[in-house]
Amino acid sequence: MPGFDYVIIGGGSAGCALAARLSEDPAASVCLLEAGGANTEMLVRMPAGVGNLIKAKGKHNWGFWTEAEPHLDNRRLWWPRGRGLGGSSAINGMIYMRGHPQDYDEWRQMGLTGWAWDDVLPYFRRLEGHHRGGDLHGSDGPLTVSAGESDSPFNDAVIQAGKEAGYPVTEDFNGAAQEGFGRYDLTIADGKRWSTAAAYLAMAANRPNLTVIIGARTTGIVLDRGRAVAVDYVTGKTRERVETSGEVLLCAGAVQSPQILQLSGIGDPARLKAAGVRPLHDLPGVGENLQDHLDIIMNWRSQGLASVYSVTKGLKQLGVGLQYLFKGAGPGRQNFLESGAFLCSREGLSRPDVQIHAVLAIMRDHGKVKATEDGFSFHLCQLRPESRGRIGIASADPFADPLIFANYLASEVDRRVMRDCVKIGRDVAAQAALDPYRGDELAPGKDIRTDAEIDAWVRATAETIYHPVGTCKMGLDGDAMAVVGGDLKVRGLEGLRVVDASVMPTLVGSNTNAPTIMIAEKAADLIRGRVAERRERHAA
**What is the rounded distance in angstroms from the CA atom of residue 506 to the CA atom of residue 292?**
10
**pLDDT tens for residues 483-504?**
999 999 999 999 999 999 999 9
- Higher per-residue pLDDT: 458 or 533: 458
Q: Please state, rounded to an integer, the average pLDDT across all residues of the chain.
A: 96
467 an active-site residue?
yes
**pLDDT tens for residues 77-101?**
999 999 999 999 999 999 999 999 9
pLDDT band of residue 539 (cuts 50, 70, 90) is very low
pLDDT band of residue 540 (cuts 50, 70, 90) is very low
**pLDDT tens for residues 164-182?**
999 999 999 999 999 999 9
Say which CATH architecture domain 149-183+294-382+409-461 belongs to: 2-Layer Sandwich (3.30)
With vertex at residue 262, the alpha carbon angle to CA 273 and CA 385, rounded to the nearest 5 degrees, is 110
Mean pLDDT of 103-122: 97
**pLDDT tens for residues 238-291?**
999 999 999 999 999 999 999 999 999 999 999 999 999 999 999 999 999 999
CB-neighbour burial class of residue 447 (10 A; exposed 0-12, middle 13-18, buried 19+) = exposed
pLDDT band of residue 535 (cuts 50, 70, 90) is low
**pLDDT tens for residues 301-317?**
999 999 999 999 999 99
Pairing of strands 95-96, 185-186: antiparallel
Q: What is the DSSP string of 383-447?
A: SS----BEEE-SSS-TTSPPEEE--TT-SHHHHHHHHHHHHHHHHHHTSGGGTTTEEEEEETTTT
With vertex at residue 61, the alpha carbon angle to CA 378 and CA 286, rounded to the nearest 5 degrees, is 95
Greatest extent of the chain over all pairs of C-alpha atoms, in Å: 69
List the end-to-end C-alpha distance of the chain, in Å, as a whole number. 48
Superfamily of domain 1-64+78-142+191-290+468-540 in CATH is: FAD/NAD(P)-binding domain (3.50.50.60)
Give the percent of the chain with pLDDT over 70. Answer: 98
Confidence (pLDDT) at 537: 52
Given a cut of 50, whether residue 195 has pLDDT beyond it is yes
Give the type of residue at 301. Answer: R
| Segment (H or E) for 343 | strand 339-343
User: Which residue of the set 130, 293, 366, 467 is catalytic?
Assistant: 467
Instruction: Report the candidate in 193, 196, 188 with the shortest Cα–Cα distance to residue 130.
Output: 188
Same fold, 1-64+78-142+191-290+468-540 and 149-183+294-382+409-461: no
Q: 139-174 burial string, b = 16+ CB within 10 Å, else e?
A: eebbbbbbebebebebbebbbbbbbebebeebebbb
Confidence (pLDDT) at 313: 93
CA distances from 316 to 55, 228, 312, 328, 406 (A): 21, 53, 5, 16, 39
Give the percent of the chain with pLDDT over 90. Answer: 97
**pLDDT tens for residues 345-404?**
999 999 999 999 999 999 999 999 999 999 999 999 999 999 999 999 999 999 999 999
Confidence (pLDDT) at 72: 98
Given a cut of 90, whether residue 482 has pLDDT beyond it is yes
pLDDT band of residue 196 (cuts 50, 70, 90) is very high
Are 58 and 64 spatial neighbours (Cβ–Cβ below 8 Å)?
Answer: no
Mean pLDDT of 118-147: 95
Q: Where are the domains of the chain?
A: 1-64+78-142+191-290+468-540, 149-183+294-382+409-461
CA 448 to chain CA mean position, Å: 31
Q: Is the peptide bond before 444 cis (omega within 30 degrees of 0)?
A: yes
Q: How many CB atoms lie within 10 A of CB 435?
A: 11
Confidence (pLDDT) at 302: 97
Confidence (pLDDT) at 530: 83
CA-based R_g, the chain, Å: 22
Confidence (pLDDT) at 188: 98
